[in-house]
Amino acid sequence: MLAAHTPEVAMKSFAHRYGPWAVVTGASSGIGEQFARQLAARGLHLIVVARRRARLDALADELRRDHGVEAVSVVADLSAAEAVDSVVGATTGRDVGLLVNGAGFALTGDLLHHPLDAHFKLLDVNTRAPLMLAHRLGPGLLSRGCGGVINVASLAGFLPMPGWANYAASKAYLLSLSEALAYEWRARGVDVLALCPGATATEFANVAGIEHAGMAVEPVVAEALAALGRRDVVVTGGRNRLVAALTRLLPRRRRTAVGAKVVASMRPAA
């Protein structure tokens, strides 16, 4: 009886439900890379996606060596719609049970500080690619009758954030999409989870041109994997959960002012 609750049994049932293959975008760094590691440790084979080939190939080698799983790199710039074709192409003949949409980035500054093209690219990576991948891989997941999608949204999805206007809006979109999809697909056996981290120690801050002391990436991903199939949304870290709960209580304009302060506090002094 006790054996049913051992870590080995839990890992086998995870692999049975969400394996044998997982697709992870944004796997060359940070949260996506950590998802690839923790999923390989659970025995899943990985298709890892990002732009930086050397990083992906090194990760794939590591996963094969350390966990004995299969791993395939797909170099794709998800700001281009065709890139999704190469990701979907890599799944041919592979039974994919889990999609992790981890790729994403932020543009910091007033809206007009960045050209419109840069804002479109942000939307393409943070919103269009997860939508397209869920739409293209969804039929396979549903026909299996079990599986999952994890969309890496953000605490930024809970409130408008002046200084991060487009980024926060993209995460609000992903959060809403995930919650609705969780509802649509739950009865058909597919679990959808919006992961909403607060500041996390990855390359994100560097890319966004901000400074923050983030939570370690390992517990962020561990919390997400523990929540998959149990929750539709997970905010990682006790402090972040408190922030998310408090922001919900504020009137909308006050919430926006809080969002502005949060971004200002992360911008390096000029």
Ligand X SMILES: NC(=O)c1ccc[n+]([C@@H]2O[C@H](COP(=O)([O-])OP(=O)(O)OC[C@H]3O[C@@H](n4cnc5c(N)ncnc54)[C@H](OP(=O)(O)O)[C@@H]3O)[C@@H](O)[C@H]2O)c1
- Phi/psi at 196 (nearest 5 deg)? -120, 85
- Please say if 171 is a catalytic residue: yes
Q: Which stretch binds ligand X (CB under 6 A): 5-13, 16-24, 86-94, 192-200?
A: 192-200
Does the protein bind ligand X through residue 78 (CB under 6 A)?
yes
- Looking only at residues 10 through 49 of this chain, which bind ligand X when binding is defined by CB under 6 A? 26-32
The residue type found at 3 is A
- The torsion defined by the Cα of 119, 124, 126 and 130, in degrees rounded to 10, comes to 170
Minimum Å gap between C-beta 258 and ligand X is: 16
Q: Applying CB under 6 A, which of residues 52, 64, 114, 136 lies at the interface with ligand X? A: 52
Does the protein bind ligand X through residue 51 (CB under 6 A)?
yes
Token pair listed for 30: 């940070």
Query: How big is the chain by its Cα radius of gyration, in Å?
Result: 18
Distance CA 102, CA 60 (A): 17
Characterize 105-117 residue by residue with b for buried, 16 or more Cβ atoms within 10 angstroms of its Cβ, and e for exposed: bbbbeeeeeeeee
- Please say if 167 is a catalytic residue: yes
Distance CA 137, CA 226 (A): 23
Binding mask 101-140 for ligand X (x = CB under 6 A): -xxxx-------------------x---------------
Beta strands (DSSP E) in 85-124 are 96-101
Does the protein bind ligand X through residue 200 (CB under 6 A)?
yes
Minimum Å gap between C-beta 70 and ligand X is: 20
Q: Which stretch binds ligand X (CB under 6 A): 57-65, 88-96, 98-106, 224-232?
A: 98-106
Minimum Å gap between C-beta 238 and ligand X is: 16
Annotated catalytic residue, options 12, 18, 121, 167 = 167
Does the protein bind ligand X through residue 163 (CB under 6 A)?
no
Which residues are within 8 A (CB) of 158 and not within 5 positions of it... i.e. 6 or more apart? 172, 175, 196, 244, 247, 248
Does the protein bind ligand X through residue 50 (CB under 6 A)?
yes
Q: Count residues contacting ligand X (CB under 6 A)?
A: 29
Residue 247, CA distances (Å) to 43, 151, 179, 200 in order: 38, 21, 19, 19
Neighbours of 140 (CB within 10 A): 16
Minimum Å gap between C-beta 270 and ligand X is: 22
Q: Which is nearer to ligand X, 15 or 24 (CB)?
A: 24
Task: Give catalytic residue positions.
Answer: 167, 171
Residues that bind ligand X (CB under 6 A): 26-32, 50-52, 76-79, 102-105, 125, 152, 154, 197, 199-200, 202-204, 207, 214
